[in-house]
Every structure is written in structure tokens, then in C-alpha cells.
Amino acid sequence: MKGMVMAAMSALCLVLGIMGAMGNTWLVPEEEMDDGMDAGTSLTASWSEMDLAEMGASSESDCEDFADNMAPGGAESECDGTVITMTMAFSDVCDDTDDEEACDMATGGMIGTIGMWAGIVCALLITLTMVLPMAGVDAMDAVPENVTQLATWAAGALMLVGMLGWYFMLPDGGDMSLGMSGWMAGAAMSMGLGSALIGQFIEADE
């Protein structure tokens, strides 16, 4: 039972970690935006989405014309019908303008990305180590026990370090709050650390 619980928690850590790391809603506006508009940030970029039908656009070509003429310099634009999505990488803004907040966000995003993906790799190793033997596959038997124990703690700990590094680099103030991707990353970190705690402190026959 202990092994099954740890395997399930490690698998959840893996899945939620991937969804969090790849998600684009680490931060979202605290207040609801106007109809047809949405915005948020991933670990590495900010984005905004707007329905240009509110501005008289009637086709994707109108949207593309808007992107060519009105989108901020350096922004990547994508049209889906009359809906335009503009994405701006923090690192590009930092390089182009030396804006301190953008540079801090770029640094925090790099720390968060490294921490999350390093934790995901460890969660994958632990999940395979626990799940494959249950299916009668001995492919992971060659992994040393001390490596397995280290990875068990590292999965959640590295995600925690990444999240804290990202959080402490956020600019003061602002009107953004933690979004779904951030919450999923937090849940993945909790699952990883929870699995490690169970393995460390709960006996196998309990």
C-alpha cells in the first residue's frame, strides 16, 4: 500500500509539474477584464488576447493587418479568426529596453523553469522506478538505491526552489495574482514532498 501511494503521488507530481511548467497562467489579472480580452504570464513571457470583432474586424485578414501595424515591437502575434494573441518574452524586453522589472521577470522565469523541469525529471525517474516493477518490468533495477532516495526528495524540493526563486523575483505591487498554472506547480511540489515524507517516516506495513 505504501508503495502504491508513493507511486500515485509521484505520478501526480510528474503530470501536474509538466502542466504547470508548460502553462501560461502563472499570473493572471486580479480583476476581470473587459469582454473579449484576457491576459496573463507564463514563466518566461507575458501574453494578451483580444477579440478584434469589438473593433470592427470581420475576418482573419483584418486581424493579421492589425498585428502587422499595431502590435508592439518584438511581440509575437497569432490570429485565430478575429481573435489575436500577442506574446512578449521577458528576456527580449530586457535586452531591448533594459527594463528592470522585465529583467527580474526573465531571471525569475529562468530559475523557475530550471527548478520545475529538474523536478519533473526526478519525478519521472521515481515514477518509473516504482511503477515498472509493479508491472513486472525490471528495467529500473540497475538504478542505485541512494540515487532513488535522492531523487525522491529532489522532485519536490527542486520544484519548491524554482517556485520560490520565481516568486522572489516578481516586481513589488501590481494587479496580478497566482493563476492555474502556478497552483498546479504548487500541487506538484506538494505531491513530490509528500511522497518523500511518506517514504521517510511511514513504515511499509502501516
- Do 16 and 116 share a domain, yes or no? yes
Question: Between β-strands 83-89 and 27-29, what pairing exists: parallel, antiparallel or unpaired?
Answer: unpaired
- Does residue 30 carry a pLDDT above 90? no
Q: What is the pLDDT of residue 204?
A: 63
Domain count of the fold of the chain: 2
What pTM was estimated for this model as a whole?
0.88
Q: What is the pLDDT of residues 151-195, one digit of tens each?
A: 999 999 999 999 999 999 998 877 889 999 999 999 999 999 999
- Does residue 57 carry a pLDDT above 90? no
Q: What is the pLDDT of residues 89-136, one digit of tens each?
A: 999 999 988 899 999 999 999 999 999 999 999 999 999 998 888 877
- Do 103 and 52 share a domain, yes or no? no
Domain boundary among 56, 72, 94: 94
- Do 46 and 17 share a domain, yes or no? no
Q: What is the pLDDT of residue 205?
A: 56
**Residue 179 sits in which domain range?**
2-26+98-201
